[in-house]
């Protein structure tokens, strides 16, 4: 028989991950029966909780708050060591001392999205009605639902207007939803590698990922926690497929080419002979250590449903009519998941609304993932945009 | 482009005066403080920065990615776009002024672009190199080759400028499409405005570039 090695089981126990779901290593805002979250599907979610991290101090005028919206598989641990993986924050290239988002200057907030699995209420949380994990009984949520929950958190924190809302990919969708739903509460918006609607190709990739999860026999129709098991193989395959879409042909070729993994010759088996295979398997297996399979189904679904124009008679410009928010839109040349054409359509709509918008396309071969990587031109643009918005907002600090 | 150090300009207070282009200083003077301006073909954003020192709400469009990114890195509201194809996306009356500085001759459809400028903006400010300038004429007449100057050094096969015109040609286009000329200036090689009240033919011969403040509602001929 031809040799084959399956994806290894997670090194971190499921208990570590599930502990974060209900008892996150973050601040938690609880919303009781008197403050339900009205969802787009018609259900009121109550009670619910939001786990969030903050960096820096809110100033006396309450004018320096920045909300960071995380992407599909991100979480609130932007710039601190991750409590499950022990890795550095996912955006500590952008957030930190001397970075474009410096906590000495801004009060930076990042909340785990509703439907997530790092402490905000989601399918991995306990359903108070049954005392068991929600699983597929959790209502389907949307990007507007996530943003509505964030607005409740911002209210709770006593902040009226956010100085900036910042995010890439699904985070960028939330940024745009913030400006469409609460234009008066967003002074400036930095939307990176995103779109006002999820494309057919992107929905197709998400469906592939969901089917991979659901095809795993360990998934048990979403009730895997009852069996004290996690469909890690299905979720890892979903992550592997998605990860390819975050990169580019050129970046894969540059990083791996056709190079072999720790061997000179092919083994004539289905082992990971190529470096690129080994890399993808690593991406898959490390992802399942920190992410809940059902959460992945719900969050990909939320992205699929996203279409701002659909909520405004199909005319995107109507969503931004008369908006005073300062926009900066950034795309990357090699991003084929959220290509520049999507950003350009957004910019056209913003122009038609006479919004103040900057738009830069950054040359890189690193694909969609570029927004998480060290791309100096992206940081320069982010820094300049935030500084110029800060000047208009009357924010001052040493160094100006 | 030549550097103008002496052109007096009320309201421009900056530590960098003297580094601005002559036509930029003239354009800035034509724009009322506090107005909303779109600069089409804004390059590195020098004019937008000059306008912002006058309290003007400036936006820009630039074709080159490098130019856009340098503008955005200066904190300017600039998007990547093409004067020929992207002006149609802007609504009517969106700006007080739309500026087209040294770009008209590089567009594919100068007439359509000009009409769009005055649809989007109440006024347009257009500057362009004058192909009727005596040095240009001389190079063609005596040298027998396509003219090249300090400000337009590209050879005919390298240049992005595909629709050259003279000041006289431009005035005729404005008449043809019913554009009113509120103000006209011709600048010499060093960016100094020629003395006023000279006949058109003098401007067309000695003006190295023309700068026009235009509005809607001229008579169509």
Residues in contact with B7: Cβ distance below 8 Å, sequence separation at least 6, in sequence order: B22, B25, B26, B191, B192, B193
Q: Are A359 and A366 in contact (CB under 8 A)?
A: no
Given pLDDT bands bounded at 50, 70 and 90, which one contains residue A224? Answer: very high
Q: State whether B79 and A362 contact (CB < 8 Å).
A: no
Interface size A-B, in CB pairs within 8 Å, comes to 61
Asked if residue B12 has pLDDT above 70, the reply is no
Position A11 pLDDT exceeds 70: no
Is the Cβ pair A352, B90 closer than 8 Å?
yes
pLDDT recorded at residue A398: 46
Which one of A142-151, B125-134, B159-168, B179-188 scores highest in mean pLDDT?
A142-151
Instruction: Express as a percent the part of chain B with pLDDT over 70.
Output: 88
Q: Which of A329, A360, A383 to mutate to test the interface with B (most CBs of B within 10 A)?
A: A360
Whether residue A2 lies inside any domain: the answer is no
Active site residue A348: no
- The 10s digit of each residue's pLDDT in A298-333 is 999 999 999 999 999 999 999 999 999 999 999 999
Residue A53 CB-density burial (10 A; 0-12 exposed, 13-18 middle, 19+ buried) = buried
A98-136 confidence digits (pLDDT tens): 999 999 999 999 999 999 999 999 999 999 999 999 999
- Put simply, whether A85 touches B (Cβ < 8 Å) is no
Catalytic option among A125, A169, A248, A343: A169
- Confidence tier at B3 by pLDDT (50, 70, 90): very low
State the Cα angle at B213 between B207 and B219, rounded to 5°. 105
Is there a domain that residue A275 lies in? yes
Answer whether residue A12 is part of any domain: no
Question: Does residue A283 have a cis peptide bond before it, meaning omega lies within 30 degrees of 0?
Answer: no
Residue A368 falls in the annotated catalytic set: yes
- Give the model confidence (pLDDT) of B37-90 as tens digits: 999 999 999 999 999 988 899 999 999 888 998 898 888 999 988 999 889 889
Contact B69 A360 (CB under 8 A): yes
Domain count, chain A: 1
Long-range CB pairs of B199-205, under 8 A, 24+ apart, other chains included:
B200/B167, B200/B168, B200/B171, B201/B168, B203/B130, B203/B167, B204/B130, B204/B132, B204/B166, B204/B167, B204/B168, B205/B132, B205/B133, B205/B134, B205/B137
Backbone angles phi, psi at A50, to 5 degrees: -125, 125
- Please state the rounded mean pLDDT for residues A16-20: 78
Residue A35, pLDDT above cutoff 70:
yes
**CB spacing of B89 vs A357 below 8 angstroms:** no
Overall average pLDDT of the B147-164 stretch: 90
- DSSP string spanning A120-141? SSSTTSEETTTTEE-GGGSPP-
Query: How many Å separate Cα A57 from the centre of its chain?
Result: 24
Q: What is the mean pLDDT of chain A?
A: 94
Residue B214 sits at φ, ψ, to 5 deg, of: -120, 150
In a domain, A342, yes or no: yes
| Inside any domain, residue A281 | yes
Residue pLDDT, tens place only, A258-303: 999 989 899 999 999 999 999 999 999 999 999 999 999 999 999 9
Are A351 and B90 an interchain contact pair (Cβ–Cβ within 8 Å)?
yes
Give the per-residue SS3 of chain B.
Answer: CCECCCCCCCCCCCCCCCCCEHHHHHHHHHCCCCCEEEEECCCCCHHHHHHHCCCCEEEEEECCHHHHHHHHHCCCEEEECCHHHHHHHCCCCCEEEEEEECCHHHCCCHHHHHHHHHHHEEEEEEEEEECCCHHHHHHHHHHCCCCCCCCCCCCCCCCCCCCCECHHHHHHHHHHCCEEEEEEEEECCCCCECCCCCCHHHHHHHCCEEEEEEEECCCCC
pLDDT, mean of residues A196-211: 98
**Residue-number span of the structural domain to which A309 is assigned:** 18-393
Higher pLDDT among residues A391 and A3, named by residue: A391
Chosen from B73, B74, B88, B121 to mutate, greatest number of chain A CBs within 10 A: B73
Please name the residues in contact with A34: beta carbons below 8 A apart, sequence gap of 6 or more.
none
Which residues lie below 8 Å from residue B142, measured CB to CB, with a gap of 6+? none
Does residue A362 belong to the interface with chain B, where contact is any CB pair within 8 Å? Answer: yes
Regarding an ipTM greater than 0.90, the answer is no
Minimum-distance CB partner of B72 among A348, A358, A391: A358
Active site residue A169: yes
Q: Catalytic pick from A102, A145, A273, A335?
A: A335
Can you list the domains of chain B with their CATH numbers?
A: 22-216 (3.40.50.150)
> Dihedral of CA B103/B107/B112/B116: which sign?
negative
Does some domain include residue A11?
no
Containing A37, the helix (H) or strand (E) segment is strand A37-38
Chain A residues whose CB is inside 8 A of the B76 CB are 358, 388
Phi-psi region of A7 (alpha: psi -120 to 50; beta: other; left: phi over 0): beta
Residue A30 lies in a domain: yes
Q: What secondary structure letter does DSSP report for A213?
A: H
Find the CATH number of the domain harbouring A149. Answer: 3.40.50.1820
Using a CB–CB cutoff of 8 Å, tell me whether A354 touches chain B.
yes
Residue B13 pLDDT more than 50? no
Q: Which residues of B touch A385 (CB under 8 A)?
A: 72, 75
Chain B interface with A: residues with Cβ < 8 Å? 57, 59, 65, 68-69, 71-80, 86, 89-91, 94
pLDDT at site B196: 62
Q: Is residue A13 part of a domain?
A: no
pLDDT(A238) > 50? yes
pLDDT, tens digit, 9 for 90 and up, residues B176-200: 999 999 998 888 877 777 766 677 8
> 3-class DSSP state for residue A18?
helix
């Amino acid at each position: 028989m031809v040799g084959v090695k399956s994806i290894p089981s997670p090194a971190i126990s499921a208990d570590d991950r599930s502990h974060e779901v209900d008892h996150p290593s973050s601040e938690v805002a609880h919303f009781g029966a008197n403050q339900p979250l009205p969802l787009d599907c018609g259900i009121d979610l109550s009670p619910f909780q939001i786990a969030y991290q903050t960096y820096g101090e809110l100033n006396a005028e309450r004018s320096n708050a920045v909300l960071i919206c995380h992407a599909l598989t991100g979480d609130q641990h932007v710039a601190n060591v991750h409590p499950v993986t022990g890795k550095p924050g996912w955006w500590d290239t952008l957030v930190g001392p001397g970075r474009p988002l410096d906590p000495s200057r801004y009060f930076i907030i990042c909340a785990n999205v509703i439907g997530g699995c790092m402490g905000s209420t989601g399918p991995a949380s306990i359903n108070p009605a049954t005392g068991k994990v929600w699983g597929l009984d959790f209502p389907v949520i949307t990007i507007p639902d996530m943003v509505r929950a964030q607005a409740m958190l911002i209210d709770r924190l006593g902040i009226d207007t956010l100085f900036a809302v910042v995010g890439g990919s699904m985070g960028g969708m939330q940024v745009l939803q913030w400006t469409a739903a609460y234009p008066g509460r967003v002074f400036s918006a930095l939307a990176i590698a995103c779109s006002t609607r999820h494309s057919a190709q992107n929905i197709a990739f998400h469906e592939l990922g969901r089917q991979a999860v659901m095809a795993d026999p360990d998934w048990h129709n979403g009730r895997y926690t009852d069996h004290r098991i996690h469909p890690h193989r299905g979720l890892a395959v979903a992550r592997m497929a998605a990860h390819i879409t975050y990169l580019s042909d050129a970046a894969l070729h540059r990083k791996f080419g056709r190079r072999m993994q720790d061997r000179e010759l092919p083994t004539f088996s289905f082992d990971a002979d190529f470096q690129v295979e080994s890399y993808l398997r690593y991406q898959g297996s490390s992802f399942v250590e920190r992410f809940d399979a059902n959460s992945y189904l719900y969050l990909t679904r939320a992205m699929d449903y996203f279409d701002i124009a659909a909520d405004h008679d199909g005319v995107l410009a109507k969503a931004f009519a008369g908006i005073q928010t300062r926009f900066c839109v950034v795309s990357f040349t090699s991003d084929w998941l959220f290509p520049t054409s999507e950003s350009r359509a957004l910019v056209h709509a913003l122009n038609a609304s006479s919004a103040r918008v900057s738009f830069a396309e950054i040359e890189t071969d690193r694909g969609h993932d570029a927004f998480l990587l060290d791309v100096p031109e992206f940081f320069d643009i982010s820094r300049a945009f935030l500084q110029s918005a800060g000047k208009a907002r009357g924010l001052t600090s040493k160094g100006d | 482009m030549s550097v103008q150090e002496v052109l007096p300009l009320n309201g421009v207070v900056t530590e960098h005066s003297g580094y601005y282009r002559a036509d930029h200083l003239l354009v800035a003077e034509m724009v009322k403080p506090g107005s909303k301006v779109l600069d089409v073909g804004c390059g590195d954003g020098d004019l937008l920065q000059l306008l912002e020192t006058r309290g003007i709400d400036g936006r820009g469009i630039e074709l080159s990615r490098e130019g856009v990114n340098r503008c955005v890195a200066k904190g300017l509201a600039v998007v990547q776009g093409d004067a020929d194809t992207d002006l149609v996306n802007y609504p009517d009356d969106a700006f007080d002024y739309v500026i087209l500085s040294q770009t008209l001759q590089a567009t594919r459809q100068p007439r359509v672009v000009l009409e769009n400028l005055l649809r989007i903006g109440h006024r347009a400010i257009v500057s362009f190199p004058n192909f009727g300038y005596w040095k240009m004429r001389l190079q063609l007449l005596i040298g027998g080759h396509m003219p090249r100057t300090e400000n337009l050094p590209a050879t005919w096969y390298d240049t992005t400028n595909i629709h050259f015109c003279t000041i006289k040609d431009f005035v005729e286009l404005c008449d043809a499409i019913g554009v009113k000329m509120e103000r006209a200036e011709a600048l010499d090689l060093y960016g100094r405005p020629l003395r006023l009240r000279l006949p058109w033919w003098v401007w067309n011969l000695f003006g190295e570039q023309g700068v026009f403040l235009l509005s809607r509602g001229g008579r169509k001929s």
